[in-house]
Amino acid sequence: MQPFKKNLILFALNIALWSANYFSHNNSFSLLARSGTHVSLDVDPPRFKLTINGILWTGNNAVNGWVTAPLILNMPQGLHHIVLERPGYSSHKFKIAIEGPTANPIKTSLERQDAAKNIVEISGLDLDDDELRVSVDGGYEESALPLILDDALSGDHELEIRKTGLASFRSKPITCTFTINPEKNLAKTKIDLSLSGKKITTSANCRRIKIAH
């Protein structure tokens, strides 16, 4: 065999082995294979982190590790270990046995911890609600305005504000932090967003922080 052809074959084999290792590590071959069984998963509350067989799910509609139910999983036959996690709730662990081309839909709920009882309301005083999206703590909850949480934990939280359709906001979101202090016995933490000139400002209880880019 000519040296060039031999090197080309070895190169192709290395690429194939690397790809197999990468995708098997990320569980992508099995979970994204079209030949798998579709499993419908519906969870309350609908935003959570999903781990399948020890691998964090990064497939359909996953953003920063957070997924939103209902969603469809494409899974191979066999026994699968599922873990659902969300701040303020107990980890929910269960197993799914896939035995054929069809599977029963799964509907479940997470058990709220006693500490997750604070209410947070984020709204805009003079803003078009459709233009902004806000997220809390890296995306465990995210929506257009207003965003209302009824299960927030005490302590420090980070709020990120992005404006849809505006590249500068996508690359440089507004970020601030707010604190839920259980000693003050506040029934609700309210954060107001407003427009000052062409800049979006936040109420004093959300302290603006600089983020590196």
**What pLDDT is recorded for position 32?**
38
Could you read off the pLDDT of 22-34 as tens digits, one per residue? 333 333 333 433 4
Q: Which of 106, 117, 116, 60 shows the shortest CA–CA distance to 84?
A: 106
Give the CATH fold of the 30-109 domain. Immunoglobulin-like (2.60.40)
pTM of the predicted model over 0.85? no
In angstroms, rounded to a whole number, what is the distance separating the alpha carbons of residues 13 and 20? 11
The pLDDT of residue 7: 52
Pull the structure tokens for residue 25.
């590590």
pLDDT in tens, 80-125: 999 999 999 999 999 999 998 888 999 999 999 988 989 999 998 8
Looking at residue 151, its amino acid is D
As a whole number of angstroms, the distance between CA 174 and CA 158 comes to: 10
Sequence-distant (≥ 6) Cβ neighbours of residue 40 within 8 angstroms: 70, 71, 72, 105, 106
Do the Cβ atoms of 142 and 158 come closer than 8 Å?
A: no
**Which of 37, 81, 29 is closest to 59 using CA atoms?**
29
Residue whose pair of structure tokens reads 């257009």 in the numeric block: 144
How many residues does the structure list for the chain?
A: 213
Residue 147 · residue 161 · CB < 8 Å: no
The rounded average pLDDT for each run of 10 residues, N- to C-terminus, in the chain (213 residues) is 52 46 38 67 96 90 88 92 97 94 93 91 80 88 91 93 59 86 74 85 89 48
Distance of CA 16 to the CA centre of its chain: 31
CATH code 1.25.10 for 118-208: no
- CA 153 from chain centre, in angstroms, equals 17
Query: From the CB of residue 19, how many other CB atoms can be counted at a distance below 10 Å?
Result: 12
- Dist. CA 140–CA 51, nearest whole Å: 15
Instruction: Say what the pLDDT of residue 35 is.
Output: 58
Query: What is the reported pLDDT for 27?
Result: 38
pLDDT for the residue numbered 18? 43
pLDDT value at residue 204? 93
Residues carrying CATH 2.60.40, the chain:
30-109, 118-208
Structure tokens at 131: 């233009």
